[in-house]
Amino acid sequence: MSAEPFDEDTITGLVADATAAPSLHNAQPWRFRYLGGVGVLRLYADLKRALPRTDPERRGLHLGCGAALLNLRVSAAAAGLAPVVRLLPDPADPGFLAEVHLRATAPPDQALALLHPAIHRRHSSRHPYRDEEIPATVREHLCGAARAEGAQLLFPGAWHVRSILELVWDAEGQEAEDAGVRGETAQWARTEPSGTAEAPDGIPAEAFGPRQRGTAAPVRDFAVGRPMPGRPWASFEKNPQIAILGTARDGPAEWLRAGQALERVLLRATTDGLVASVTSQPLEWPELRWVARDPVSSMAHVQMVLRLGYGPQGHPSPRRPVNEVLDIV
Ligand X SMILES: Cc1cc2nc3c(=O)[nH]c(=O)nc-3n(C[C@H](O)[C@H](O)[C@H](O)COP(=O)(O)O)c2cc1C
Please report how the helices 136-148 and 252-271 are oriented relative to each other, as an axis angle in degrees rounded to 10.
150
User: Does residue 319 contact residue 19 with C-beta atoms inside 8 Å?
Assistant: yes
Q: Which residues contact 172 (CB under 8 A, 6 or more apart)?
A: 221, 224, 281
How far is the C-alpha of 324 from the C-alpha of 134, rounded, in Å? 39
How far is the C-alpha of 150 from the C-alpha of 145, rounded, in Å? 9
The minimum distance between CB 277 and ligand X, in angstroms, equals 5
In 39-57, which positions are buried (b, 16+ CB within 10 angstroms) versus exposed (e)? bbbbbbbbeebbbeebbee
CA-to-CA separations, 51 to 78, 210, 275, in angstroms, rounded: 33, 25, 26
Q: Given the complex with ligand X, which of 203 and 326 has the nearer CB atom?
A: 203
In 222-241, which positions are buried (b, 16+ CB within 10 angstroms) versus exposed (e)? bbeeeeeeeeeeeebbeebb
CA-to-CA separations, 44 to 64, 114, 229, in angstroms, rounded: 12, 26, 39
How far is the C-alpha of 135 from the C-alpha of 309, rounded, in Å? 10
Q: Given the complex with ligand X, which of 25 and 42 has the nearer CB atom?
A: 25
Q: Given the complex with ligand X, which of 70 and 154 has the nearer CB atom?
A: 70
The minimum distance between CB 171 and ligand X, in angstroms, equals 9
Contact set with ligand X (CB under 6 A): 22-26, 60, 63-64, 67, 123-124, 126, 203, 220, 277-281, 314, 317
The minimum distance between CB 108 and ligand X, in angstroms, equals 25
Q: In the Cβ-directed half-sphere of 2, how many Cα atoms lie within 13 Å?
A: 6
Q: Given the complex with ligand X, which of 25 and 190 has the nearer CB atom?
A: 25
How far is the C-alpha of 202 from the C-alpha of 317, rounded, in Å? 8
Give the residue closest to ligand X by C-beta.
Answer: 22
The minimum distance between CB 39 and ligand X, in angstroms, equals 28
- Report the sign of the C-alpha dihedral through residues 64, 28, 219, 168, in that order: positive
Q: Given the complex with ligand X, which of 12 and 260 has the nearer CB atom?
A: 260
The minimum distance between CB 123 and ligand X, in angstroms, equals 4
The minimum distance between CB 20 and ligand X, in angstroms, equals 7
Q: Given the complex with ligand X, which of 75 and 279 has the nearer CB atom?
A: 279
Q: Given the complex with ligand X, which of 29 and 108 has the nearer CB atom?
A: 29
- Of the candidates 303, 314, 235, the one whose C-alpha atom is nearest the C-alpha of residue 274 is 314
The minimum distance between CB 63 and ligand X, in angstroms, equals 4
User: Does residue 219 contact residue 237 with C-beta atoms inside 8 Å?
Assistant: no
The minimum distance between CB 64 and ligand X, in angstroms, equals 4
Q: Given the complex with ligand X, which of 34 and 222 has the nearer CB atom?
A: 222
